């Protein structure tokens, strides 16, 4: 109960009633779609201002410092634990002009999503977030491309992603 009430208070203080309402609706009724694609070589040109790398604690701290209200303490701890525990859920960052512009994850082979667990030779893309000031600059599209390219280069044959119903921006980005 205490954890739930802390999350309610956090949503109210950070985003107001509308953000709280959105969270409650998602909590009560979540519909998502799973997409699976076969990996292939990719060669798409992107801005030289963008770079992709495995996330470090330094990246995470920079992201928190520069975008503090967009990474709450719960999310910080989740990502921090994935980094220090060398998890199979691997966080990556996309930098725009050397500034962390967003975080994005890959799960290798096995993950805990019932819809995509036990797909052999698969990477799962999840937990994508582009910081608000970097939206519209190709950051998310670049993260998708970079993770698919990484998966192919490591010998994986398929990739999956879950997209929540009504998340039009993610759906649009992944369809490209």
- pLDDT tens figures, 50-89: 999 999 999 999 999 999 789 999 999 999 999 999 888 8
Question: Alpha-carbon distance 62 to 117, whole Å?
Answer: 33
Look at residue 27 in the predicted model and tell me its pLDDT.
56
Give the chain's mean pLDDT: 83
CA 115 to chain CA centroid, nearest Å = 17
Task: Assign 108 a pLDDT band (cuts: 50, 70, 90).
Answer: confident
**Cβ proximity of 70 and 132 under 8 Å:** yes
Judged by average pLDDT, the poorest of 7-16, 60-69, 74-83, 134-143 is: 7-16
For 17-40, write each residue's pLDDT tens digit.
666 666 665 555 555 677 888 999
The residues near 107 (Cβ < 8 Å, ≥ 6 apart) are: 88, 89, 90, 113, 123, 124, 126
């Amino acid at each position: 109960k205490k954890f739930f009430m802390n999350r309610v208070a956090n949503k109210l203080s950070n985003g107001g009633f509308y953000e709280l309402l959105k969270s409650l609706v998602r909590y009560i009724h979540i519909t998502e779609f799973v997409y699976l694609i076969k990996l292939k070589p990719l060669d798409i040109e992107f801005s030289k201002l963008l770079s992709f790398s495995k996330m470090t604690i330094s990246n995470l701290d920079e992201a928190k410092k520069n975008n503090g209200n967009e990474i709450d303490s719960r999310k910080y701890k989740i990502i921090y634990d994935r980094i220090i525990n060398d998890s199979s859920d691997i966080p990556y960052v996309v930098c725009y002009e050397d500034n962390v512009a967003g975080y994005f994850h890959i799960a290798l082979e096995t993950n805990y999503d019932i819809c995509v667990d036990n797909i052999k030779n698969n990477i799962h893309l999840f937990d994508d977030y582009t910081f608000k000031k970097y939206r519209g600059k190709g950051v998310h599209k670049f993260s998708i491309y970079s993770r698919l390219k990484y998966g192919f280069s490591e010998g994986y044959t398929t990739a999956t992603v879950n997209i929540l119903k009504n998340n039009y921006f993610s759906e649009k980005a992944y369809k490209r």
